[in-house]
Structure 1
Amino acid sequence: MHENIDPAICPVCGGDNGCALLAGQPIEQCWCMRTRIPKEVLSAIPAERRGKACVCQACAAGSAPARPD
């Protein structure tokens, strides 16, 4: 089954990832350009969602709950 992945949704928790690029702003204005995202957070992204959507600020900080599915 093919899952439609929304690039604006965090692949870890399912919340809004706050991507500046998706909001029509320059990538340099995105919060992720100024934030170090730990390897543990990146490894929590399900394989089928990797490279398709960015994590949110809460997940990047390690403070968001895991995605229920």
Structure 2
Amino acid sequence: MIADKYCCPLCKNNNQCCIPNDCSAEGCWCTDAFFPKGIFDLLPTEREKVCICQNCLEEFKQRRV
């Protein structure tokens, strides 16, 4: 399955990652974000690796508190 590089694999909304657009790595929100290991367990195994959106990341962190 080919993933849309701009689509969050969890909610299917825009992931707001600029890395697919060849921006500098320092320019994207995801380079400074902490992604708990458990969030990756939610991803389907057959999906190509694409960025999780900031909203899904924050919701995941809030549920784990």
Report the TM range for the smaller structure's normalisation: 0.7 to 0.9
Structure 2: runs of 5+ lacking an equivalent: 61-65
Which portions of structure 1, spanning 4 or more consecutive aligned residues, are displaced by more than 4 angstroms? none
Match of 2:17 in 1: 19
Where is the helix percentage greater, Structure 1 or Structure 2? 2
Q: TM-score, normalised by structure 1?
A: 0.72
Offset of 1:39 from its aligned partner?
Answer: 1.6
**Aligned counterparts of 1:7 and 1:15: Cα–Cα separation in 2:** 11
**Aligned counterparts of 1:49 and 1:36: Cα–Cα separation in 2:** 21
- Percent identity over the alignment is 32
Match of 1:61 in 2: 58
**Aligned counterparts of 2:14 and 2:8: Cα–Cα separation in 1:** 6
Match of 2:37 in 1: 39
Structure 1: runs of 5+ lacking an equivalent: 64-69
